[in-house]
Amino acid sequence: MAEAYSTLAKPTILVVEDEAPLMTLLRYNLEKQGFKVDEAADGQEALLRVSEARPDLVLLDWMLPALSGIEVCRQLRRRPNTRDLPIIMVTARTEDQDAVRALDTGADDYIAKPFVMDALLARIRALLRRSGGAATKGTLTYRDLTMDQDSHRVSRGGRALHLGPTEYRLLEFFLQHPGRVFTREQMLDAVWGRDIHVEPRTVDVHIRRLRKAINGEHEVDLIRTVRSAGYALDAEDH
Ligand code: CA
Protein backbone atom coordinates (compact mmCIF):
# COMPACT_ATOMS: atom_id res chain seq x y z
CA MET A 1 0.00 0.00 0.00
CA ALA A 2 2.86 2.34 0.82
CA GLU A 3 4.01 2.14 -2.78
CA ALA A 4 0.77 3.62 -4.00
CA TYR A 5 1.37 6.73 -1.94
CA SER A 6 5.00 7.27 -2.74
CA THR A 7 4.30 9.23 -5.92
CA LEU A 8 1.36 11.12 -4.56
CA ALA A 9 2.77 14.35 -3.41
CA LYS A 10 5.47 14.78 -6.05
CA PRO A 11 5.92 18.51 -6.24
CA THR A 12 5.72 20.03 -9.71
CA ILE A 13 8.40 22.50 -10.72
CA LEU A 14 7.68 24.80 -13.63
CA VAL A 15 11.00 25.51 -15.31
CA VAL A 16 10.99 28.71 -17.34
CA GLU A 17 14.12 28.68 -19.47
CA ASP A 18 14.79 29.60 -23.09
CA GLU A 19 18.06 27.72 -23.41
CA ALA A 20 17.14 24.22 -24.53
CA PRO A 21 20.31 22.45 -23.30
CA LEU A 22 19.91 23.95 -19.83
CA MET A 23 16.23 22.98 -19.82
CA THR A 24 17.20 19.39 -20.62
CA LEU A 25 19.78 19.37 -17.86
CA LEU A 26 17.35 20.83 -15.32
CA ARG A 27 14.58 18.39 -16.26
CA TYR A 28 16.95 15.45 -15.93
CA ASN A 29 18.18 16.49 -12.50
CA LEU A 30 14.82 17.52 -11.11
CA GLU A 31 13.15 14.31 -12.24
CA LYS A 32 15.98 12.31 -10.74
CA GLN A 33 15.20 14.03 -7.43
CA GLY A 34 11.57 12.99 -7.64
CA PHE A 35 10.05 16.20 -8.92
CA LYS A 36 7.58 16.51 -11.75
CA VAL A 37 8.73 19.00 -14.35
CA ASP A 38 6.66 21.34 -16.45
CA GLU A 39 8.30 23.57 -19.07
CA ALA A 40 7.92 27.04 -20.52
CA ALA A 41 10.37 28.58 -23.00
CA ASP A 42 9.35 32.20 -22.59
CA GLY A 43 7.55 34.56 -20.25
CA GLN A 44 4.16 34.46 -21.95
CA GLU A 45 4.15 30.69 -21.96
CA ALA A 46 5.11 30.70 -18.28
CA LEU A 47 2.06 32.79 -17.34
CA LEU A 48 -0.14 30.54 -19.45
CA ARG A 49 1.24 27.34 -17.90
CA VAL A 50 0.74 28.68 -14.39
CA SER A 51 -2.91 29.52 -15.04
CA GLU A 52 -3.51 26.13 -16.66
CA ALA A 53 -1.86 24.10 -13.95
CA ARG A 54 -0.48 25.72 -10.85
CA PRO A 55 2.99 24.33 -10.05
CA ASP A 56 4.41 23.97 -6.54
CA LEU A 57 7.39 26.11 -7.45
CA VAL A 58 8.60 28.18 -10.40
CA LEU A 59 12.22 28.23 -11.45
CA LEU A 60 12.25 31.44 -13.40
CA ASP A 61 15.03 32.60 -15.72
CA TRP A 62 15.52 36.36 -15.67
CA MET A 63 16.59 36.80 -19.31
CA LEU A 64 13.74 35.55 -21.45
CA PRO A 65 12.43 36.50 -24.87
CA ALA A 66 9.29 38.66 -25.07
CA LEU A 67 8.57 38.99 -21.38
CA SER A 68 11.40 39.08 -18.84
CA GLY A 69 11.51 36.92 -15.75
CA ILE A 70 11.14 40.03 -13.60
CA GLU A 71 7.94 40.95 -15.43
CA VAL A 72 6.59 37.40 -15.12
CA CYS A 73 7.33 37.49 -11.40
CA ARG A 74 5.63 40.85 -11.04
CA GLN A 75 2.52 39.63 -12.84
CA LEU A 76 2.32 36.42 -10.81
CA ARG A 77 2.54 38.44 -7.60
CA ARG A 78 -0.29 40.70 -8.72
CA ARG A 79 -2.70 37.79 -9.22
CA PRO A 80 -4.39 36.77 -5.97
CA ASN A 81 -4.11 33.05 -6.71
CA THR A 82 -0.35 33.15 -7.38
CA ARG A 83 0.62 35.76 -4.81
CA ASP A 84 2.21 33.07 -2.65
CA LEU A 85 3.52 30.83 -5.42
CA PRO A 86 7.15 29.92 -4.57
CA ILE A 87 9.49 31.49 -7.14
CA ILE A 88 13.24 31.09 -7.51
CA MET A 89 14.77 33.54 -9.95
CA VAL A 90 17.70 32.35 -12.06
CA THR A 91 19.97 34.82 -13.74
CA ALA A 92 23.33 35.34 -15.40
CA ARG A 93 23.67 38.57 -13.49
CA THR A 94 25.77 38.34 -10.39
CA GLU A 95 25.58 41.85 -9.03
CA ASP A 96 24.03 42.08 -5.59
CA GLN A 97 21.82 44.83 -6.87
CA ASP A 98 20.12 42.40 -9.21
CA ALA A 99 19.54 39.93 -6.40
CA VAL A 100 17.86 42.67 -4.44
CA ARG A 101 15.76 43.61 -7.44
CA ALA A 102 14.69 40.00 -7.95
CA LEU A 103 13.62 39.73 -4.33
CA ASP A 104 11.91 43.12 -4.40
CA THR A 105 9.83 42.01 -7.34
CA GLY A 106 8.57 39.20 -5.20
CA ALA A 107 10.86 36.23 -5.90
CA ASP A 108 11.40 34.05 -2.82
CA ASP A 109 14.96 33.20 -3.65
CA TYR A 110 17.65 33.92 -6.19
CA ILE A 111 20.47 31.93 -7.78
CA ALA A 112 23.04 33.16 -10.29
CA LYS A 113 24.21 31.31 -13.38
CA PRO A 114 26.35 29.34 -13.64
CA PHE A 115 25.10 27.45 -10.61
CA VAL A 116 26.01 24.13 -9.04
CA MET A 117 23.10 21.73 -9.49
CA ASP A 118 23.22 20.49 -5.89
CA ALA A 119 23.02 24.06 -4.63
CA LEU A 120 19.96 24.72 -6.76
CA LEU A 121 18.28 21.50 -5.62
CA ALA A 122 18.94 22.40 -2.00
CA ARG A 123 17.34 25.79 -2.51
CA ILE A 124 14.32 24.24 -4.17
CA ARG A 125 13.85 21.78 -1.32
CA ALA A 126 14.27 24.52 1.26
CA LEU A 127 11.74 26.76 -0.42
CA LEU A 128 9.23 23.94 -0.73
CA ARG A 129 9.65 23.21 2.96
CA ARG A 130 9.06 26.82 3.78
CA SER A 131 6.01 27.05 1.60
CA GLY A 132 4.54 23.88 3.07
CA GLY A 133 5.21 21.91 -0.10
CA ALA A 134 5.53 18.17 -0.34
CA ALA A 135 9.28 17.75 -0.47
CA THR A 136 9.54 16.26 2.98
CA LYS A 137 7.70 13.57 4.89
CA GLY A 138 6.51 14.14 8.38
CA THR A 139 3.41 14.77 10.40
CA LEU A 140 0.67 17.00 9.10
CA THR A 141 -1.96 18.36 11.43
CA TYR A 142 -5.03 20.50 11.30
CA ARG A 143 -7.05 21.08 14.46
CA ASP A 144 -7.52 17.63 16.00
CA LEU A 145 -6.64 15.84 12.77
CA THR A 146 -3.20 14.22 12.44
CA MET A 147 -1.56 12.50 9.48
CA ASP A 148 1.69 10.62 9.86
CA GLN A 149 3.10 10.53 6.33
CA ASP A 150 5.65 7.84 7.16
CA SER A 151 3.25 5.27 8.55
CA HIS A 152 0.23 6.57 6.60
CA ARG A 153 -1.79 6.68 9.80
CA VAL A 154 -4.51 9.23 10.15
CA SER A 155 -6.36 10.05 13.34
CA ARG A 156 -8.82 12.58 14.66
CA GLY A 157 -8.87 13.35 18.35
CA GLY A 158 -6.88 10.17 18.93
CA ARG A 159 -9.38 8.00 17.03
CA ALA A 160 -7.79 6.09 14.12
CA LEU A 161 -9.37 6.79 10.73
CA HIS A 162 -9.45 4.46 7.79
CA LEU A 163 -9.12 6.15 4.44
CA GLY A 164 -8.97 4.76 0.94
CA PRO A 165 -5.87 5.70 -1.06
CA THR A 166 -7.60 8.53 -2.92
CA GLU A 167 -9.13 9.97 0.23
CA TYR A 168 -5.72 9.76 1.84
CA ARG A 169 -4.16 11.67 -1.04
CA LEU A 170 -6.89 14.28 -0.99
CA LEU A 171 -6.53 14.83 2.73
CA GLU A 172 -2.77 15.03 2.46
CA PHE A 173 -3.12 17.68 -0.22
CA PHE A 174 -5.56 19.65 1.94
CA LEU A 175 -3.33 19.36 4.98
CA GLN A 176 -0.47 20.84 2.99
CA HIS A 177 -2.56 23.92 2.24
CA PRO A 178 -5.02 24.38 5.08
CA GLY A 179 -7.62 27.06 4.54
CA ARG A 180 -6.93 27.38 0.84
CA VAL A 181 -9.79 26.86 -1.59
CA PHE A 182 -9.08 24.51 -4.47
CA THR A 183 -11.09 23.96 -7.61
CA ARG A 184 -11.92 20.43 -8.68
CA GLU A 185 -9.42 20.80 -11.51
CA GLN A 186 -6.65 21.77 -9.12
CA MET A 187 -7.44 18.79 -6.94
CA LEU A 188 -7.45 16.49 -9.94
CA ASP A 189 -4.06 17.79 -11.02
CA ALA A 190 -2.56 17.48 -7.58
CA VAL A 191 -4.04 14.16 -6.52
CA TRP A 192 -4.77 12.21 -9.68
CA GLY A 193 -2.02 13.75 -11.81
CA ARG A 194 -2.07 15.71 -15.00
CA ASP A 195 -1.54 12.87 -17.42
CA ILE A 196 -4.85 11.16 -16.86
CA HIS A 197 -8.30 12.40 -17.63
CA VAL A 198 -10.79 12.23 -14.77
CA GLU A 199 -14.21 13.84 -14.65
CA PRO A 200 -14.28 16.76 -12.19
CA ARG A 201 -17.39 15.26 -10.56
CA THR A 202 -15.22 12.38 -9.40
CA VAL A 203 -13.76 14.81 -6.88
CA ASP A 204 -17.19 15.29 -5.28
CA VAL A 205 -17.51 11.56 -4.75
CA HIS A 206 -14.19 11.34 -2.99
CA ILE A 207 -14.86 14.46 -0.93
CA ARG A 208 -18.07 12.81 0.29
CA ARG A 209 -16.14 9.70 1.26
CA LEU A 210 -13.45 11.75 2.95
CA ARG A 211 -16.04 13.68 4.95
CA LYS A 212 -17.67 10.46 6.03
CA ALA A 213 -14.32 9.05 7.10
CA ILE A 214 -13.04 12.04 9.07
CA ASN A 215 -16.18 13.57 10.55
CA GLY A 216 -17.60 11.67 13.49
CA GLU A 217 -21.20 12.13 14.49
CA HIS A 218 -20.68 15.08 16.79
CA GLU A 219 -17.54 16.48 15.25
CA VAL A 220 -17.16 19.70 13.30
CA ASP A 221 -17.05 19.25 9.51
CA LEU A 222 -13.46 20.09 8.59
CA ILE A 223 -14.14 20.45 4.89
CA ARG A 224 -15.74 23.57 3.57
CA THR A 225 -17.68 23.50 0.30
CA VAL A 226 -17.26 26.76 -1.56
CA ARG A 227 -20.16 27.18 -3.92
CA SER A 228 -19.17 27.21 -7.61
CA ALA A 229 -15.52 27.18 -6.59
CA GLY A 230 -14.43 24.01 -4.87
CA TYR A 231 -13.32 22.83 -1.46
CA ALA A 232 -11.03 23.79 1.38
CA LEU A 233 -9.82 22.23 4.59
CA ASP A 234 -11.39 24.84 6.77
CA ALA A 235 -13.64 24.39 9.76
CA GLU A 236 -14.65 28.03 9.92
CA ASP A 237 -17.03 30.25 7.98
CA HIS A 238 -19.68 27.62 7.42
CA1 CA B 1 17.74 33.03 -20.67
The pLDDT tens digits of the residues spanning 191-200 come to 876 656 677 8
Distance 96 CA to ligand 1 centre (A): 19
The residue with greater pLDDT, 163 or 17, is 17
How high is the pLDDT of residue 164?
Answer: 77
The residue with greater pLDDT, 60 or 4, is 60
CB 68 within 8 A of CB 144: no
For the segment 60-74, the average pLDDT, to the nearest whole number, is 92
How high is the pLDDT of residue 35?
Answer: 95
pLDDT over 60 at 171, yes or no:
yes
How high is the pLDDT of residue 219?
Answer: 87
Share of the chain above pLDDT 70, in %: 87
How high is the pLDDT of residue 231?
Answer: 95
How high is the pLDDT of residue 73?
Answer: 93
| pLDDT band per the 50, 70, 90 thresholds, residue 238 | very low
For the segment 83-88, the average pLDDT, to the nearest whole number, is 85
How high is the pLDDT of residue 94?
Answer: 65
| pLDDT band per the 50, 70, 90 thresholds, residue 190 | confident
Distance 65 CA to ligand 1 centre (A): 8
pLDDT averaged over every residue in the chain: 85
Distance 178 CA to ligand 1 centre (A): 35
Q: Which domains does the chain have, with CATH numbers?
A: 7-132 (3.40.50.2300), 139-233 (1.10.10.10)
* Whether the model pTM is above 0.85: no
d(CA 96, CA 211): 50
Distance 42 CA to ligand 1 centre (A): 9
| pLDDT band per the 50, 70, 90 thresholds, residue 214 | very high
| pLDDT band per the 50, 70, 90 thresholds, residue 31 | very high
Distance 209 CA to ligand 1 centre (A): 47
How high is the pLDDT of residue 1?
Answer: 34
Distance 130 CA to ligand 1 centre (A): 27
Residue type, 130: R
Distance 124 CA to ligand 1 centre (A): 19
How high is the pLDDT of residue 195?
Answer: 59
